Amino acid sequence: MSLKINKKDREHAPLEHGFLKVSSPVEVFIDSQVVTGIALFVSVIIAMVLVNFGWQQTYAALNAMRLTVSLGDWEISHSIHYWINDGLMVLFFFILGLEIKYEILVGALSNIKDAGLVIAMALGGMLLPALIYISIIWYGNSDAYQGWGIPMATDAAFAISILTLLGAKAPRAIFVILTGLAIVDDMGAVAVISLFYTEQIVGESLAWAGLTLLSILLMNLLGIRKPIFYLAGGILLWWFILQSGVHATTAGILAAMMVPTQPHANKIWFRKKMENVIENFQEMDDPHKSIIENGKQHALAEEAEDIAKLSTAPILRWGSTLDKPVSLIILPLFAFLNAGVMLPTAIPKVADALITLAIMLALVLGKGIGISLFAWLGLKMGLVRLPSSVCFSQIVGVGFLAGVGFTMSLFISVLAFEGQAELIEQAKLGILLGSLIAGILGVLILLFSSKN
């Protein structure tokens, strides 16, 4: 959350007035929800340009560039692509885990009646895309069944960014439904990754991972709130899970589940302490001196910061701290290194683009029809309820918008077809085309619904 300060309340640096004319619009843009989607889109475009306009070798070299971490005789060396996909993306899954935990505890998934619609939509949005993909692969006599998990996921960042662009044409309830849908979708995708896209299990490493997870849980139960301890525990957990054969990003979700939800102090303590700080601050205030000239006032301001930290929930504070670095650095890097796909110069035969066709149709039709169908069935059977400000045609629009599977779908495609470059290329093209078509259809349906 950004704190807006009026000009009269600012302490300006000598050159700050001129700089603010440039920086202020940039800060507002960065704080908006749209920026993540734009950053991902730009990353995809750059990757596509490099691959399709003569810099394919440069792009491949960037992916294969090695980064080595060593200490004495010990070293770990992997490609940049590996470090992003199996290393830094753990932070994305950590934030995702925090969001899942928050929604289950106090958010859109905390009340079963309110969550019913979202859960029904998510189930339809996972089952039908997988069935469509498997059916097309079976009909085409292919053996690429392992890609069934690719069209199941929804890219929350992209989908919500698109929804934000619609402004008042998308009611607040639509945002809540899409966010909840994406969260349940992502829970399903994480389960799929952990259960079906896992290598051979190494029992000893998995046992160490379990002990590490229990240690993090113990820290939570003991009331430890210092992030450094959870960071150390999270890194150890990531390392052991990486060695166990289970995909390393599972560590992000598991670590997030252990993050404390309760602050050190309650609201009453916060109010009393802040009132005391403000009272003391006013008593020693000298209008002719700045805060840097009054050490006691400066100490009170620092005390107010400490009081605020002790009264805020780590699950929210840590997620907020990591959100921008992950959404504006890690996710765009992931998109850049994974979205580069060579576009066909001619229309390929169906047999040569079966995976592309299967993923594209699964994302567009599977998501749109599956989500709408399960929502309709839930409403007809009286198991779920529709928010008063939302009509069913908007649910259909959300269903197609959820077909924007980009980030998570790309991630699963690399796991599903590991070591099969040609199949990965087909999958990427299907994801890009399917996400684009689904996004356009979703927007058109929502715009049509708002007019009626």
Highest mean pLDDT among 45-54, 156-165, 333-342: 45-54
- The answer, yes or no, to whether residue 27 has pLDDT greater than 50, is no
- The answer, yes or no, to whether residue 388 has pLDDT greater than 60, is yes
The answer to whether residues 390 and 303 belong to one domain is: no
pLDDT band at 19 (very low <50, low <70, confident <90, very high): very low
Query: For residue 81, which of 337, 374, 432 has the smallest C-alpha distance?
Result: 337
Which pLDDT belongs to residue 169? Answer: 67
The answer to whether residues 420 and 279 belong to one domain is: no
The answer to whether residues 177 and 290 belong to one domain is: no
CB-based contact 259:314 (threshold 8 Å): yes
pLDDT band at 5 (very low <50, low <70, confident <90, very high): low
CB-based contact 420:352 (threshold 8 Å): no
Give dist(CA 425, CA 429) in Å, integer. 6
Which residues neighbour 406 within 8 Å (Cβ) at sequence distance 6 or greater?
Answer: 40, 44, 155, 158, 335, 431, 432, 435
Give dist(CA 45, CA 360) in Å, integer. 19
pLDDT mean over 63-81: 80
From residue 438, give the alpha-carbon distance in Å to each of 225, 430, 442. Answer: 42, 12, 6
Q: Which residue has the higher pLDDT, 229 or 104?
A: 229
Kindly state whether residue 204 falls inside one of the protein's structural domains. Answer: no
pLDDT mean over 188-215: 79
Query: For residue 255, which of 215, 216, 225, 229 has the smallest C-alpha distance?
Result: 216
First and final CA of the chain: distance in angstroms? Answer: 35
Lowest mean pLDDT among 248-257, 396-405, 437-446: 248-257
Which residues neighbour 290 within 8 Å (Cβ) at sequence distance 6 or greater?
Answer: 11
Kindly state whether residue 213 falls inside one of the protein's structural domains. Answer: no
User: pTM for this one?
Assistant: 0.71
Range of the domain at 290: 274-310
- The answer, yes or no, to whether residue 225 has pLDDT greater than 80, is yes
Give dist(CA 28, CA 204) in Å, integer. 49
Structure tokens at 430: 């299907």
The answer to whether residues 257 and 363 belong to one domain is: yes
The answer to whether residues 418 and 441 belong to one domain is: yes
pLDDT band at 22 (very low <50, low <70, confident <90, very high): very low
The answer to whether residues 326 and 188 belong to one domain is: yes
Lowest mean pLDDT among 41-55, 165-179, 210-224, 306-320: 165-179
Query: For residue 84, which of 62, 101, 58 has the smallest C-alpha distance?
Result: 62
pLDDT mean over 284-306: 80
Mean pLDDT of the chain: 79
Query: What residues form DSSP beta bridges with 75?
Result: 70
Query: What residues form DSSP beta bridges with 74?
Result: 71
The answer to whether residues 300 and 385 belong to one domain is: no
Which pLDDT belongs to residue 244? Answer: 80
Query: For residue 36, which of 222, 176, 198, 165 has the smallest C-alpha distance?
Result: 165
Q: Which residue has the higher pLDDT, 145 or 12?
A: 145
The answer to whether residues 286 and 376 belong to one domain is: no
The answer to whether residues 391 and 251 belong to one domain is: yes
Structure tokens at 259: 């993050």
pLDDT band at 232 (very low <50, low <70, confident <90, very high): very high
The answer to whether residues 286 and 417 belong to one domain is: no
Lowest mean pLDDT among 36-40, 204-208, 355-359, 370-374: 36-40
Which pLDDT belongs to residue 252? Answer: 85
Give dist(CA 182, CA 200) in Å, integer. 29
pLDDT mean over 386-407: 83
Which residues neighbour 38 within 8 Å (Cβ) at sequence distance 6 or greater?
Answer: 161
- The answer, yes or no, to whether residue 2 has pLDDT greater than 70, is no
CB-based contact 242:76 (threshold 8 Å): no
Kindly state whether residue 241 falls inside one of the protein's structural domains. Answer: no
Which pLDDT belongs to residue 108? Answer: 62
CATH number, residue 405: 1.20.1530.10
Looking at the structure of the chain, the number of domains it has is 2
Lowest mean pLDDT among 17-31, 65-79, 366-380: 17-31
Kindly state whether residue 413 falls inside one of the protein's structural domains. Answer: yes
The answer to whether residues 401 and 299 belong to one domain is: no
- The answer, yes or no, to whether residue 348 has pLDDT greater than 70, is no
- The answer, yes or no, to whether residue 200 has pLDDT greater than 90, is no
Tens of pLDDT along 250-278?
Answer: 788 888 888 888 888 888 888 898 888 88
Which residues neighbour 448 within 8 Å (Cβ) at sequence distance 6 or greater?
Answer: 393
Q: Using H for helix, E for strand and C for coil, what is the string for the chain?
A: CCCCCCHHHCCCCCCHHHHHHHHHHHHHHHHCCHHHHHHHHHHHHHHHHHHHCCCHHHHHHHHHCEEEEEECCEEEEEEHHHHHHHHHHHHHHHHHHHHHHHHHHCCCCCCHHHHHHHHHHHHHHHHHHHHHHHHHHHHCCCCCHHHHHHHHCCCHHHHHHHHHHCHHHCCHHHHHHHHHHHHHHHHHHHHHHHHHCCCCCCHHHHHHHHHHHHHHHHHHHCCCCCHHHHHHHHHHHHHHHHHHCCCCCHHHHHHHHCCCCCCCCCHHHHHHHHHHHHHHHHHCCCCCCCHHHCHHHHHHHHHHHHHHHHCCCHHHHHHHHHHHHHHHHHHHHHHHHHHCCCCCCCCCCHHHHHHHHHHHHHHHHHHHHHHHHHHHHHHHCCCCCCCCCCCHHHHHHHHHHCCCCHHHHHHHHHHHCCCCHHHHHHHHHHHHHHHHHHHHHHHHHHHHHHHC
The answer to whether residues 278 and 367 belong to one domain is: no
Give dist(CA 49, CA 126) in Å, integer. 32
Kindly state whether residue 136 falls inside one of the protein's structural domains. Answer: yes
Tens of pLDDT along 352-373?
Answer: 678 888 999 999 999 999 999 9
Kindly state whether residue 11 falls inside one of the protein's structural domains. Answer: no
Kindly state whether residue 430 falls inside one of the protein's structural domains. Answer: yes
Kindly state whether residue 419 falls inside one of the protein's structural domains. Answer: yes
pLDDT mean over 315-323: 84
Which pLDDT belongs to residue 28? Answer: 42
Angle at 95 between CA 214 and CA 175, to 5 degrees: 135
pLDDT mean over 400-416: 82
Tens of pLDDT along 123-178?
Answer: 998 899 999 999 998 888 777 788 888 888 887 767 777 777 776 666 777 777 78
Q: Which residue has the higher pLDDT, 67 or 14?
A: 67
